[in-house]
Amino acid sequence: MIEAQERNRKIIDEFRANDGKVGGRFEGRTLLLLHTKGAKSGRERINPLAYVKDGDRYVIIASKGGAPTSPSWYFNLLANPLVTVEVGNETFSAHATVAEEPERTRLYNKMVEKMPAFDDYRRKTTRQIPVIVLAPVN
């Protein structure tokens, strides 16, 4: 857990120092920082996540690399759907909703087109991986 937190901290620092651009495994990919409130702790959590755009909405996937369980940030946004998002050098509030079928599959496939590894993730697990839509709020 500590190792993952340290890896995320380095990505977050690089993201902020370079207007949303990072190297390593995220190089050349669209990346955002998702701020959630801990479902149990109430503390702010920040996670770097790949995304695709769908109109003015941002789409993220709770894949956890194809693990059998969803990532903790997913449960945080279910408990507290008003989140903060950083994209590039912009920060805004957004409302998170879990996509329902058939939109879920359409949006998942859109992510796969941009980042084929997401196809592997869905093949590695028997769970239906949640797709989350982040709609900016004014």
pLDDT in tens, 31-58: 999 999 999 999 999 999 999 999 999 9
The residue extents of the domains of the chain are: 2-136
pLDDT tier, 19 (very low <50, low <70, confident <90, very high otherwise)? confident
CATH architecture of 2-136: Roll (2.30)
Q: What are phi and psi of 117, to 5 degrees?
A: -60, -25
> Which one-letter DSSP state was computed for residue 129?
P
Model pTM? 0.92
Between CA 77 and CA 36 the distance in angstroms is 6
User: Half-sphere exposure (CA, 13 Å, Cβ side) for 16?
Assistant: 13
pLDDT digits (tens, 9 = 90+) for 59-104: 999 999 999 999 999 999 999 999 999 999 999 999 999 999 999 9
